[in-house]
């Protein structure tokens, strides 16, 4: 009898739950309406060819310096637009960063408590290893637009290697 009730609940409840969740306003909001397609807009504004767009995007993401003056202007414009968008998103939802930090702290402290309870000190090295390994590229990517603006705002330096 209990198995039949569970099967009926799954067969009737799951579609009803999916219908209810799908009807929420969150799913009907279009991101395109709230945020313009920055990539397409900047490619059109600076008349970038596909290879140039890839160069500019890489320079913005990783904070590299380009030699071509036209691409340098595009890098600064793109990075400035990315930073402005990030500031606007942070202003709309200032609590998101704090909630993410709180979630991360709860998970980290829970992991440390589990390690201490199990006295599995070998796991401590693994848990400390991955955040350190992942923090290097993530920090570089997060600081990329700021570094790209700094490197591409003035005249090109003579010591850097030209990008293809």
Instruction: Render pLDDT for 36-65 as a digit per residue (tens, 0 to 9).
Output: 688 899 999 999 999 999 999 999 988 899
Global pTM value = 0.61
How does DSSP classify residue 159?
T
Q: Indicate the SS3 state at residue 93.
A: coil
- CA 60 – CA 150 distance, rounded (Å): 11
How does DSSP classify residue 155?
S
Q: Indicate the SS3 state at residue 85.
A: helix
Task: At 120, give phi and psi (nearest 5°).
Answer: -105, 75
Q: What is the mean pLDDT of residues 97-110?
A: 87
What counts of helices (H) and strands (E) characterise the chain? 9, 0
């Amino acid at each position: 009898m209990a198995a039949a009730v569970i099967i009926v609940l799954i067969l009737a409840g799951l579609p009803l739950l999916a219908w209810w969740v799908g009807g929420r306003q969150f799913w009907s909001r279009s991101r395109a309406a709230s945020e313009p397609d920055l990539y397409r807009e900047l490619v059109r504004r600076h008349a970038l060819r596909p290879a140039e767009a890839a160069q500019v995007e890489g320079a913005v993401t990783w904070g590299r310096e380009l030699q071509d003056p036209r691409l340098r202007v595009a890098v600064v414009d793109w990075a400035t637009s990315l930073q402005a968008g990030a500031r606007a998103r942070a202003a709309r939802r200032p609590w998101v960063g704090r909630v993410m930090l709180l979630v991360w702290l709860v998970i980290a402290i829970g992991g440390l408590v589990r390690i201490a309870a199990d006295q599995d000190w070998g796991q401590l090295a693994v848990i400390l290893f991955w955040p350190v390994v992942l923090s290097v590229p993530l920090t570089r990517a997060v600081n990329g637009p700021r570094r790209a603006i700094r490197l591409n705002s003035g005249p090109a330096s003579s010591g850097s290697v030209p990008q293809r």
